[in-house]
Structure 1
Amino acid sequence: MGLKAGTDAKQIRNRLKYSPTVFEFFTNEDDFTPEGLKRLEYDIQWVKSEATAKIILHHPMRFKGEFTELVAPSKKFPELHNFIYQTTEDLLQFAFDYDIQTLVHGSYARRTQFFIDMYPNLSTARKEVFAQLDELAEWGQEHIMFENSISPIFYYGNEDEENDILKHNYRLAFDTSHCFIKCQGSNELLKRALKHLKSNVVHYHLVDSMGKTHDSLTLGQGKIDWKMVLPLLNPAATSIYEINLANQEDAKEQVESHYFLTELYKKISDDLTIMPKNR
């Protein structure tokens, strides 16, 4: 069971009662003050001692209300650029010290086009982002991974885009809902992307979706074909359920997603057991 929480003690305590085998911290701007970093380090030690050593630190999504987009031109947004790099360095320091992982978004979506429009064209913007990802990959080595979005930059669901990503041999985080939405709700395209990127994926965000908007649904409530997805996951990768919660202090929807997938796995296994052998 892979669960996600912020650095709030009530959230962490709630997740720990389920004895997760993977734990992902969703960090925010406040976690990078001197006091915040001390708290985060304590939380890492807490989870590691009581539950699991498989810990992922999710890079903060926003800085002063703005998305932490690598595509944001550094000359026009120096404070944002510096925050992205400093916080990545902070998380990687923990990752190396505690032998855990740092997750950085290659892109987001909601403001990406705003930044892309500041470049001569999309190709130039993409080159800038990949240059930064190359630098961060060099920094993080085996302790960093990059997650897909639904923006025109760094997404899964298009073979040419995926081939460009694979050329860099990045360690990848695969968000199923992001890919499904980018594929406009096509399970066939999601299947192809899962197979194509499988060997480079080190972590999954297992999330359901209707395939139209960023809805982050409990597994089984959307249109993703999980019976198709399960056999295509890299067994060496970790995973968590990144589901919208009604109450951040209660992992109910994440846990329900795990039970759904566990039951589906049992059913698939049972079906395979009773299938007649080829003669």
Structure 2
Amino acid sequence: MMPKLGLKASTSMAQVNERLQYHPAVFEFYTDEHDMTKNGLTHLEEMIKYVQSFGISQIVIHHPMAYAHHHNEVAVSALKDPAGYQFMMSSAEALIELARKLNVQVLIHGGYSDKEAVVNSYGDFATARQVIFARLDYFQKMGGDHVMFENSISPAFDYGDETIEETVIAHHYRLCYDISHGFIVLHGNNEKLVKSIARLAPQTVHYHLVDSMGQHHDSLELGKGKIDWQQVMKVINPKATSIYEIDLADQNDSREMRASHEYLAQLLTTQQTH
């Protein structure tokens, strides 16, 4: 399957315009704490409508990754960090409401923190996971076909972990599968990665295509890591959208994302001719 070009940008007009000149089919907005203010949400709405005016209908809003210099964690303790909990909930609710209004998607990360941090909030890991799934259930009920959940390298919500995978399947969640996160969780094992992607493909509606060496979060261009893209592309859901979530040297220049698309297109074209 040949993926369409999917690019990511902040809500900055300079970044958005730079991406639009390459005519992406899929557009993902990276949001931050400032986008969740009243003025920020108004600006975000204007930027989504602006992108839609170019004929782009497949738009994803990425829930802010951070709040007050720490992770915007679904598992945040309402008792130990009430301000963090309030931000996490109110931002997710505001984005879901906006997504329903404009007929776009919201992506919520299932977890960021390491196991120790999550355990410190709840005393034990099983309880923390129960809290995460209860909150994801709430977001799913609120958002319906406008919300999806992304895997992490955190054991709080990591595809590749069969317990998590069984639970997300049982809950009928719509999923975003970050390929590099799965690869890192599985310690660089391509065979296990392909099995995980295939298992979750029926519920996966969006992919983050990004390479990795499989050891830690490195967000590499496709072809610069160890992921077997030929095998991966055979098992992803062909109906899902995707973007290239690559670290950029310059946030106003999407060249690493576009180079990844060119690499994948060339790889798949070569594969088809052999």
TM-score w.r.t. the length of structure 1 is 0.95
The 3-state SS of whatever aligns with 2:273 is helix
Question: Which one of 97, 103, 110 corresponds to residue 107 of structure 2?
Answer: 103
The 3-state SS of whatever aligns with 2:221 is coil
Q: Report matched runs for 1:130-141 at 5 Å.
A: 130-141=133-144
Question: Which one of 61, 79, 82 corresponds to residue 78 of structure 1?
Answer: 82
Whichever residue aligns with residue 28 of structure 2, its letter is E
- The aligned counterpart of 1:167 is 170
Whichever residue aligns with residue 13 of structure 2, its letter is A
**Alignment size in residue pairs:** 270
Misfit runs of 4+, over 3 Å: none
Whichever residue aligns with residue 249 of structure 1, its letter is N
Deviation at 1:112, TM superposition (A): 5.3
Whichever residue aligns with residue 103 of structure 1, its letter is L
CA contact (8 A) 2:211 2:223 kept: yes
Whichever residue aligns with residue 260 of structure 2, its letter is S
- The aligned counterpart of 1:181 is 184
Pick closer, same or farther for the CA change 1:118–1:34 going to 2, 3 Å: closer
Q: Report matched runs for 1:185-224 at 5 Å.
A: 185-224=188-227
Deviation at 1:161, TM superposition (A): 2.3
Question: Which one of 235, 238, 241 corresponds to residue 235 of structure 1?
Answer: 238
CA contact (8 A) 1:71 1:116 kept: no
| Alpha-carbon displacement from aligned partner over 1:122-170 (angstroms, at most 9, x marks no partner) | 1111111111111111011110000000111111112232112211110
TM-score w.r.t. the length of structure 2 is 0.96
Q: Report matched runs for 1:40-119 at 5 Å.
A: 40-109=44-113, 113-119=116-122
Deviates more, 1:113-122 or 1:70-79: 113-122
- The aligned counterpart of 1:28 is 32
C-alpha distance in 1 between matches for 2:36 and 2:201: 33
Which has the higher Rg, Structure 1 or Structure 2? 1
Pick closer, same or farther for the CA change 1:38–1:118 going to 2, 3 Å: closer
C-alpha distance in 2 between matches for 1:112 and 1:24: 28
- The aligned counterpart of 2:126 is 123
Deviates more, 1:221-230 or 1:67-76: 67-76
C-alpha distance in 1 between matches for 2:115 and 2:249: 28
C-alpha distance in 2 between matches for 1:170 and 1:101: 14
Matched, 1:17 2:21: yes
CA contact (8 A) 1:19 1:51 kept: no
Aligned identity (percent) is 44
Question: Which one of 262, 265, 272 corresponds to residue 265 of structure 2?
Answer: 262
**Structure 1: 5+ residue runs without aligned partners?**
272-279
CA contact (8 A) 2:115 2:125 kept: no
C-alpha distance in 1 between matches for 2:45 and 2:85: 24
C-alpha distance in 2 between matches for 1:90 and 1:67: 18
C-alpha distance in 1 between matches for 2:121 and 2:208: 31
CA contact (8 A) 1:73 1:115 kept: no
Deviation at 1:49, TM superposition (A): 0.6
C-alpha distance in 2 between matches for 1:137 and 1:269: 38
